[in-house]
């Protein structure tokens, strides 16, 4: 592939990032990052994503990379669950709703009156929250909104954007897994659930694997951006799946931690796990690439810290992440914790310090005073949640955990990574702050025939990217074990 580049676009809730990748036959070089803002729109009481601004930013990025380059391929990944409805002429019927839009406020409760939460898990292998596609689609039924009856096709966000580029409609498997509407083994739609909820099935498209070539960039886009007849490749559409694909040396029975606004963490397996224990543990199943599956959980992470930073700024103090890490290191642990899944802590706005102390009082813990104490509480709470999930995989589900790797932006927080290592009493590997982009591009190389298997993808990643090893402080584990037991009894880290 010498002389050719592949372009990846990774859209997140707060912004997008693009990169180009060049493979020299031995190593992959990913870089020359192109950033843009993702600014949601609040209109007449509803919250939307600004789809066309995102699409135009991707076109600008393609134009930027094509100057003096031969572009072989393009792939897009995004956050999960967001979708567009199209009419019979392929036109959008409505703006793209934000997953925090309040139309779904009561949708899950209504769904569970029709189909129990346990039955939904048995039908899908997934435990949805209100941001998932399932409650979003059901909200049309709930509110008698007939626009869903006009929809000829539904495409998830990365599939929609790649349809704009290629003119071809299909649904990539990993992004479909974020809908809560796939069968547990992620091979087909959970049509029985569609029928029980009266969600139309005719708008579903064929499911394709990551690495499928959708077609070439449409001629007018090829000319305006300069990318020529570049192939549009279905990257793992869900950003977490792209990140998992790109982890160096990763494989079966290894745990990943994709750390950012939220933590999405899980273990790669060859099969889905749908039983009473995985249900009670709050785990979900999704596909990645090929026949690989992940059993995972997700919960808030740097969202909590960013809310704290917002409160500090309102009080006249602005700390960057390095300053926060220094504060945490200089502070003794108060050994108090919050639940990263707590609804009130995850609501935007308000005084984050007051919210944390209210939670601590409600759960019978001591309150905090200094900025460093609040910051340490957040990082230790994230680490304790990770510890609980890993211990559940090993102890309750009898799944061996061979290695733990932390990737994406939060992996640069070496204090958090060390807390996780100490809490588990085992080495943790961290790095690849742009793992999602790397996995996106690695999948494109797989599609183009530069690598021939998922094992070769991970080997190439291992040759191309470095990971830092965090070794546990042996004396710390007993403290973390004791704290986890106490917090489990309070229902905090579960």
Tokens of residue 301, six digits: 């992470």
| Contacts of residue 246, Cβ cutoff 8 Å, sequence gap at least 6 | 407, 432, 435, 436, 438, 439, 440, 442, 457, 461, 465
State the CB neighbour count (10 A cutoff) for residue 220: 8
Residue 116 neighbours by CB distance under 10 Å? 11
Reduced to 3 states, what is the DSSP secondary structure of residue 56?
helix
pLDDT at 387: 98
Rounded to two decimals, the pTM is: 0.93
- Cα–Cα distance, 494 to 481 (Å, whole number): 14
Extract the tokens encoding 161.
Answer: 């954007």
Q: Which runs of consecutive H residues, i.e. helices, occur in 254-301?
A: 276-280
Residue carrying structure tokens 């191309």: 464
Per the listing, tokens 């990257």 go with 235
Burial (CB count within 10 angstroms: exposed 0-12, middle 13-18, buried 19+), residue 218: middle
Residue 2 is predicted with a pLDDT of 54
pLDDT band at 66 (very low <50, low <70, confident <90, very high): very high
SS3 label, residue 265? strand
Residue 390: what pLDDT?
98
- The rounded distance, in Å, linking the Cα atoms of 427 and 417 is 10
pLDDT tens digits, residue range 74-121? 999 999 999 999 999 999 999 999 998 999 999 999 999 999 999 999
Question: How does residue 349 score in pLDDT terms, banded at 50, 70 and 90?
Answer: confident
Question: Are the C-beta atoms of residues 425 and 474 closer than 8 Å to each other?
Answer: yes
**For the chain, what percent of residues have pLDDT higher than 70?**
100
Confidence of residue 13 (pLDDT cuts 50, 70, 90): confident
- Looking at residues 149-167, what average pLDDT do you find? 98
Tens digits of per-residue pLDDT, 183-227?
999 999 999 999 999 999 999 999 999 999 999 999 999 999 999
d(CA 108, CA 104): 7
**DSSP string covering 320-362:** -HHHHHHHHHTS--------TT-HHHHSSSS-HHHHHHHHHHH
pLDDT digits over 436-458, tens only?
999 999 999 999 999 999 999 99
Taking the C-alpha atoms of residue 480 and residue 381, their distance in angstroms, rounded to an integer, is: 11
pLDDT at 3 over 80: no
Report the share of the chain in percent with pLDDT over 90: 95
Q: What average pLDDT does the chain have?
A: 96
CA–CA separation, 462 and 459 (whole Å): 5
Which residues share a beta bridge with 320?
Answer: none
Tens of pLDDT, residues 248-270: 999 999 999 999 988 999 999 99
């Amino acid at each position: 592939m010498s002389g050719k580049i592949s372009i990846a676009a990774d859209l997140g809730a707060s912004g997008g990032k693009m990169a180009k990748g060049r493979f020299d036959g031995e190593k992959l070089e990913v870089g020359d990052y192109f950033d843009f803002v993702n600014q949601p729109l609040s209109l007449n009481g509803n919250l939307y994503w600004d789809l066309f601004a995102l699409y135009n930013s991707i076109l600008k990025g393609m134009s930027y990379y094509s100057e003096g380059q031969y572009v072989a391929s393009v792939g897009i990944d995004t956050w999960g669950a967001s979708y567009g409805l199209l009419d019979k002429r392929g036109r959008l019927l409505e703006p793209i709703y934000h997953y925090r839009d309040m139309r779904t406020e009561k949708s899950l409760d209504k769904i569970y009156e029709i189909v129990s939460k346990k039955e939904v898990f048995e039908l899908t292998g997934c435990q949805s929250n209100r941001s998932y596609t399932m409650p979003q689609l059901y909200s049309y039924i709930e509110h008698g909104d007939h626009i869903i009856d006009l929809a000829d096709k539904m495409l998830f966000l990365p599939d929609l954007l790649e349809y704009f580029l290629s003119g071809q409609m299909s649904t990539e498997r990993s992004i479909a897994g974020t809908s809560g509407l796939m069968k547990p083994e992620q091979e087909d739609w959970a049509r029985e659930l569609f029928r029980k909820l009266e969600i139309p099935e005719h708008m579903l498209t064929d499911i394709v694997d990551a690495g499928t070539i959708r077609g070439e960039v449409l001629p007018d886009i090829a000319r305006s951006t300069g990318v020529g007849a570049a192939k549009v490749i279905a990257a793992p559409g869900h950003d977490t799946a792209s990140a998992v694909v790109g982890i160096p040396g990763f494989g079966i029975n290894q745990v990943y931690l994709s750390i950012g606004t939220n933590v999405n963490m899980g273990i790669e397996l060859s099969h889905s796990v749908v039983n009473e224990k995985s249900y009670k543990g709050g785990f979900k199943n999704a596909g990645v690439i090929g026949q690989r599956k992940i059993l995972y959980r997700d919960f808030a992470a740097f969202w909590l810290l960013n809310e704290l930073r917002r409160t500090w700024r309102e009080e006249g103090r602005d700390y960057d992440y390095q300053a926060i890490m220094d504060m945490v290191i200089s502070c003794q642990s108060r050994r108090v914790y919050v639940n990263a899944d707590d609804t009130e802590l995850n609501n935007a706005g308000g005084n984050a310090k007051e919210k944390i102390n209210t939670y601590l009082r409600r759960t019978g813990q001591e309150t905090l005073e200094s900025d460093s104490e609040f910051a340490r509480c957040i990082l230790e709470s994230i680490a304790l949640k990770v510890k609980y999930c890993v211990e559940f995989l090993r102890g309750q589900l009898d799944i061996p955990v061979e290695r733990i790797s932390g990737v994406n932006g939060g992996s640069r927080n070496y204090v958090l990574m060390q807390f996780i290592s100490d809490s588990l009493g085992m080495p943790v590997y961290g790095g690849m702050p742009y793992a999602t982009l790397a996995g996106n591009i690695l999948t494109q190389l797989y599609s183009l025939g530069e690598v021939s298997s998922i094992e070769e993808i991970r080997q190439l990643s291992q040759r191309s990217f470095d990971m830092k090893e965090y070794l546990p402080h042996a004396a710390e584990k007993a403290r973390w074990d004791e704290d986890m037991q106490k917090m489990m009894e309070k229902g905090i880290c579960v």
